[in-house]
Chains A and B, each alone.
Chain A
């Protein structure tokens, strides 16, 4: 986009007629066409059809029901609350690891990356069950705490907000670390060196130079984690209580067991719209390109 002025035709020379395949729109269009067609057929069209049929059959009834019933408002609130806690938790745990990845030697870096991504290949269900073994009333942690006399009664660690957030942070942490690592690797290290040459301590150089530069990556990674968290259902279903019911669980019950597709569609659309609005707001302020590592504009 930056080059749009200097390539424009000057008034004195006639615009050269470029062959089709050399025109600026040609290559991107050809390259994107298969994906675009795929998305239109298998994603956009079915969703549009779902919305259309919902509106034709029952009008806004599904939407009105959702926003006027306490149960769905509570489910929205649960989803929001859990997603925010998960995002913050991932950030707090992931930032130091991502930073460490950028300063350690190549071998250690490779090792840490393997360790970070390894659990990602394990099934969600298996990972959720491992939390039961650790966090249960007779789980490892409570056995140790009670055994050492630190607490008298086992702590309620399982089947509550705590266990859901712990389980979700564990699932999403690798993504957070990788996203932050990608963003941090692009920061020019010589800037910190320059700050230190000018007399800044290491901490000050980090605080005033590296940290502000990493914020763009932090926002992108947080958005990614937050949106992923919105759609979770296995973790809250297995290690949460009904009080932590998230929106996807409600959609599943409506669509699969109650066969109430109108309300299920309405609830899905609300989730979709919320995610899109969030993405658009983000794009206004922070530039969506950064999410996929595009250059900063």
Chain B
């Protein structure tokens, strides 16, 4: 079902992945850049030869997602290779703003074709039916893995988690914090620590620290969680709200250990060679809930389906992981990743089973009330 162009684009990614297997992020990006430049030359050449003027007139696909490094990764791993071969330009809109998506749907003026949303917003999109049924005559199911089709009208995009990392400079030996109970234990492990300014995951961590088993977290015992949080409040250096904060603060020594997104943790460790270690035990996994959707009433659904057909395949997912350390949901992508690299990914089975799955259904129902309570508590 794949056309020759798509196959070629995937082939280029596959070659780069193979050639740089086991190498670091920079080596991968350099090689990818060179391959992209080469193929661009080639495709200009062939398009001049075959004079496929129609290619230039393809309607663009508008994609909404996170900005900054996330955008760069999407462009390099997914969008540019896709546009290069299909001739369909991808317009990437950031910052990520789910309320904008919702507002445009309500006004019946949806401008986003394809969106990649986090676990919470995926659950909201499914509840509010903001997506459109996927066209499996364009999207080739054979190239996907069952994990990607867990949710209706959605394709699993990537898997991320929130985990604890500690500084090996502070605790070089075996006696380092290993659980959320240790994170809470200011006497045994004194030092700067930080949590995210959101009740999602934070309340779960508090309950785990208080001894609740990870399969008995939901529905959350809110009073118990807030009581436990009260213990740690004076020792929290900062409640971070952006991904780069804990990364910067632990690197500069302001923090000794912290909750952090797995993507950022891996960026620090694998890309910046920082002496940190990830504790997967008790981590909060988003599972397969971070998904691609084609928006209901969007201007270019066909283009969006074509884009998803490409973006959800193994090669782009593996390339995306190599650039931004967001794990593939497509299990076939693991074949393209070095074993050592795979072991750093939250969707790697050995890591995933140590974590708990965030229950987004619980959170979508309770998010506003709990957030109000959390904000009132945190600001006092």
Residues of chain A whose beta carbon lies under 8 Å from any beta carbon of chain B: 70-71, 74-75, 129, 132-133, 136-139, 158-159, 237-238, 241-243, 245, 250, 253, 255-261
How many A-B contacts are there with CB distance less than 8 Å? 65
Q: Mark B226-257, 1 if CB is under 8 A from A, else 0.
A: 00000000000111011001001100111000
Pick from B99, B253, B371: contact of A138, CB below 8 A.
B253
CA distance A257 to B197 in the complex (A): 12
- B121: min CB distance to chain A, Å: 10
Besides A132-B248, A257-B367, 16 other A-B contacts (C-beta < 8 A): A132-B252, A136-B249, A137-B192, A137-B237, A138-B252, A138-B253, A139-B252, A139-B254, A159-B237, A250-B375, A253-B371, A256-B99, A258-B368, A258-B371, A259-B99, A260-B368
Residues of chain B whose beta carbon lies under 8 Å from any beta carbon of chain A: 97-99, 102, 124, 192, 197-198, 237-239, 241-242, 245, 248-249, 252-254, 367-368, 371-372, 375-376, 378-380
CA distance A253 to B254 in the complex (A): 26
CA distance A243 to B378 in the complex (A): 7
CB-based contact B375/A243 at 8 Å: no
A sample of 22 inter-chain contacts (CB < 8 A) reads A74-B380, A129-B248, A132-B248, A136-B253, A136-B254, A137-B192, A137-B237, A137-B254, A238-B242, A238-B245, A241-B238, A242-B378, A242-B379, A243-B379, A245-B375, A250-B375, A255-B99, A257-B371, A258-B371, A259-B98, A259-B102, A261-B99
Chain A residues with CB under 8 Å of B97's CB are 256
Chain B residues with CB under 8 Å of A158's CB are 238, 254
Chain A residues with CB under 8 Å of B197's CB are 242
CB-based contact B371/A133 at 8 Å: no
Chain B residues with CB under 8 Å of A75's CB are 379
CA distance A279 to B365 in the complex (A): 42
**A237 and B241 contact, Cβ closer than 8 Å, known pairs A253-B375, A259-B98:** yes
CA distance A233 to B133 in the complex (A): 39
Nearest residue in A to B192 (C-beta to C-beta)?
A: A137
CA distance A154 to B346 in the complex (A): 37
- A244: min CB distance to chain B, Å: 9
CB-based contact B98/A256 at 8 Å: yes
CB-based contact A245/B379 at 8 Å: yes
Nearest residue in A to B254 (C-beta to C-beta)?
A: A136
Chain B residues with CB under 8 Å of A261's CB are 99
CB-based contact A138/B254 at 8 Å: yes
- B368: min CB distance to chain A, Å: 5
- A75: min CB distance to chain B, Å: 7
**A133 and B252 contact, Cβ closer than 8 Å, known pairs A237-B241, A242-B239, A258-B371:** yes
Nearest residue in A to B95 (C-beta to C-beta)?
A: A256
CB-based contact A74/B379 at 8 Å: yes
Chain B residues with CB under 8 Å of A258's CB are 367-368, 371
- B215: min CB distance to chain A, Å: 27
CA distance A74 to B237 in the complex (A): 21
Chain B residues with CB under 8 Å of A137's CB are 192, 237, 253-254
Nearest residue in A to B103 (C-beta to C-beta)?
A: A261
Sorted from nearest, which 3 A-B pairs have the closest CB atoms? A138-B253, A242-B378, A71-B376
CA distance A84 to B367 in the complex (A): 34
- B66: min CB distance to chain A, Å: 13
Interface centre among B97, B98, B252 (most CB of A within 10 A): B252
Chain A residues with CB under 8 Å of B98's CB are 256, 259
Interface centre among A158, A242, A255 (most CB of B within 10 A): A242
CB-based contact B254/A132 at 8 Å: yes
- B366: min CB distance to chain A, Å: 12
